[in-house]
Chains A and B, each alone.
Chain A
Amino acid sequence: MSASALPQRRDWLSILAKSAPERLAALLPDLPAHEWLRAPETGTVMVQGRISATGAPFNIGEMTVTRCALRLPCGTEGHGHVQGRSHAHATRAAALDALMQTDPTAHAPLIETLRLEAQSAREARAARAAATRVEFFTLQRGED
């Protein structure tokens, strides 16, 4: 795999944040040795929208997010910010963040698997939505 094909850090962190905890656990059953910089903690993030989609920001409500930070024995730091309340999910995300920085070619396939699964889930919904698209036709008026 060429270096240009490797995902950027922001991409893998985003993919990990949105992955299902159970799926990530299945793909990475064993965690590497690590020490905590910040133990997993669940909190909330206030989600903002914009007035009429383009105007000033306003608060819609919060969502649950779990974050942590760890360090591998080699000194690489990994950060995990994931949706939901799973500490194991945040830990795996942080571990993979560190592993991707130390050995991207070894772990990029796992990230790619998650990305493809998310993409196919998105496409499955889009295909169902597309089937409900209205196709208008004009009725012929009878009196002519």
Chain B
Amino acid sequence: MYVAVKGGERAIDNAHAWLAEERRGDPALPLMSVAQIREQMALAVNRVMAEGSLYDPDLAALAIRQARGDLIEAVFLIRAYRTTLPRIGASRPVDTGAMAVDRRISATFKDLPGGQVLGPTFDYTHRLLDFADQAAIDPAPLAAPDTAPVPHVTAILDRDGLIEPVPHDDTPAPDLTREPLELPACRALRLQALARADEGFTLALAYSTQRGYGRTHAFVGELRIGRVPVEMDVPELGFAIEIGEIELTECETVNQFKGSRTEPAQFTRGYGLVMGQSERKAIAVSLVDRALRWQELGEDFTGAPAQDAEFVLSHCDNIQATGFLEHIKLPHYVDFQAELELVRRLRAEAQEAQP
């Protein structure tokens, strides 16, 4: 148990003053601007937005600078700031089918309507450190944009009945930020928790399913990254307007099929949708989402961590996790005194009992 203690104010003030100095680093070097972080550390900014669960690139960039690049600390700052803002409302569900795609690839179909678009990817780079000055870059080549629609790959399988259908449904979404998480959690709640889950934890869980702990035989049916408009109904106006545009990464997996004597075999689905350009996270979410669906799909529970909703949902939030983990470094003097007394007494008793 943590017990409040007094004292140490001067030490704390001085520690924070030193922290400010360390954060600034060598004063001979220019201070990084928030805009520089937003533009040149965009994937760190995206991660902080996704896990902070607040889309605002400038805020995320500011948090990263304040946190000295500690992304979990930055997420913490964003979560804390978020609680100071009133909730204006909820958007209409975004239409990812109408996304202006920067990237769209499929590992299941080579030729597909809309094509395979690589986008600004690290894939196929050699992962060699480049010591050259990156100040001057060649402009990226341009090509005539294709204005044809880019349908979801799973819609192609769905058309032929080869994958489980996902009928349109307007059940209101439960909100993790308004009501405490209760188990069993529905898929909408799980996807919200995973969208803001720690990337490392989600990656490790997803990897565990690939290695056999709740295997689901996933193919990336489609991965798409791009911008979608966000629409909201405004009661004062009496109609919906676009209130902004956000970047999203969406992954749909095509998984092991199921079938029976009465039902023909069909592929199943996993889904991940994450703020920003965050494809490792989106793929990981879709694998974990699929593993968590074992009961709904009539599969066996093998005891794999990724199948255990309580385990996944109780440990995926890095702010909850770091809060509880790090609190043990705070003063526990009274607790410890009690334990110390107990150990001393046990030792004394043991000594007396000896002949």
- Closest CB of chain B to A16's CB: distance in Å? 9
- Closest CB of chain B to A88's CB: distance in Å? 15
Find residues 61-118 in chain B having any chain A CB closer than 8 Å to their own CB.
Answer: 82, 85-94, 96-97, 100-103, 110-111, 115-118
Find residues 1-53 in chain A having any chain B CB closer than 8 Å to their own CB.
Answer: 9-10, 13-14, 17-18, 41-53
- Cβ-defined contact, B230 with A63, below 8 A: yes
- Cβ-defined contact, B273 with A49, below 8 A: yes
Tally chain A residues at the interface, Cβ within 8 Å. 53
- Cβ-defined contact, B142 with A131, below 8 A: yes
- Cβ-defined contact, B196 with A61, below 8 A: yes
Of all chain B residues, the one with the shortest Cβ separation from A44 is: B85
- Cβ-defined contact, A82 with B117, below 8 A: no
Q: Give every chain A residue within 8 A of B90 (Cβ-Cβ).
A: 45-48, 59
Of B92, B110, B177, B274, the residue contacting A136 (CB under 8 A) is B110
Of A53, A84, A122, A130, the residue contacting B146 (CB under 8 A) is A130
Given the complex of chains A and B, what is the CA–CA distance between A114 and B174 in angstroms?
Answer: 37
- Cβ-defined contact, A57 with B145, below 8 A: no
Q: Is B240 an interface residue (CB 8 A)?
A: yes
Q: Is B59 an interface residue (CB 8 A)?
A: yes
Q: Is A106 an interface residue (CB 8 A)?
A: no
Q: Give every chain A residue within 8 A of B273 (Cβ-Cβ).
A: 49, 60
Total A-B pairs, Cβ < 8 A = 228
Of A48, A79, A125, the residue contacting B236 (CB under 8 A) is A79
Q: Give every chain B residue within 8 A of A60 (Cβ-Cβ).
A: 94, 192, 195, 248, 273-275
- Cβ-defined contact, B189 with A44, below 8 A: no
Q: Give every chain A residue within 8 A of B308 (Cβ-Cβ).
A: none
Q: Give every chain A residue within 8 A of B152 (Cβ-Cβ).
A: 53
Given the complex of chains A and B, what is the CA–CA distance between A125 and B103 in angstroms?
Answer: 11
Find residues 79-137 in chain A having any chain B CB closer than 8 Å to their own CB.
Answer: 79, 81-85, 122-134, 136
Of all chain B residues, the one with the shortest Cβ separation from A48 is: B93
Of all chain B residues, the one with the shortest Cβ separation from A81 is: B243
Of all chain A residues, the one with the shortest Cβ separation from B271 is: A52
- Cβ-defined contact, A63 with B93, below 8 A: no
- Cβ-defined contact, A130 with B142, below 8 A: yes
Given the complex of chains A and B, what is the CA–CA distance between A58 and B176 in angstroms?
Answer: 10
Given the complex of chains A and B, what is the CA–CA distance between A26 and B102 in angstroms?
Answer: 29
- Cβ-defined contact, A10 with B239, below 8 A: yes
Given the complex of chains A and B, what is the CA–CA distance between A49 and B285 in angstroms?
Answer: 14
- Closest CB of chain B to A78's CB: distance in Å? 11
Tally chain B residues at the interface, Cβ within 8 Å. 83
Find residues 175-195 in chain B having any chain A CB closer than 8 Å to their own CB.
Answer: 175-177, 187-189, 191-192, 195
- Cβ-defined contact, B175 with A17, below 8 A: no
Of all chain A residues, the one with the shortest Cβ separation from B192 is: A59
Q: Is B200 an interface residue (CB 8 A)?
A: no
Find residues 248-295 in chain B having any chain A CB closer than 8 Å to their own CB.
Answer: 248, 250, 252, 269, 271, 273-275
Given the complex of chains A and B, what is the CA–CA distance between A45 and B246 in angstroms?
Answer: 12
Given the complex of chains A and B, what is the CA–CA distance between A51 and B195 in angstroms?
Answer: 12
Given the known inter-chain contacts A46-B89, A128-B142, please indicate yes or no for A61 contacting B166, CB distance below 8 A: no
- Cβ-defined contact, B56 with A85, below 8 A: yes
- Cβ-defined contact, A84 with B56, below 8 A: yes
- Cβ-defined contact, A61 with B55, below 8 A: yes
- Closest CB of chain B to A95's CB: distance in Å? 16
- Cβ-defined contact, B243 with A61, below 8 A: no
Q: Give every chain A residue within 8 A of B167 (Cβ-Cβ).
A: 54-55
Of B56, B86, B96, B110, the residue contacting A49 (CB under 8 A) is B96
Given the complex of chains A and B, what is the CA–CA distance between A50 and B168 in angstroms?
Answer: 9
- Cβ-defined contact, B175 with A46, below 8 A: yes
Since A41-B86, A83-B243 are in contact, a sample of 5 more A-B pairs with Cβ atoms closer than 8 Å, ordered by chain A residue number, is A10-B241, A47-B55, A55-B169, A59-B177, A60-B273
The contact sample of 19 A-B pairs, CB cut-off 8 A, is: A10-B239, A43-B87, A44-B82, A44-B85, A45-B88, A48-B93, A50-B94, A52-B154, A53-B96, A55-B166, A55-B168, A56-B170, A60-B274, A61-B196, A64-B85, A65-B243, A130-B142, A131-B143, A132-B117
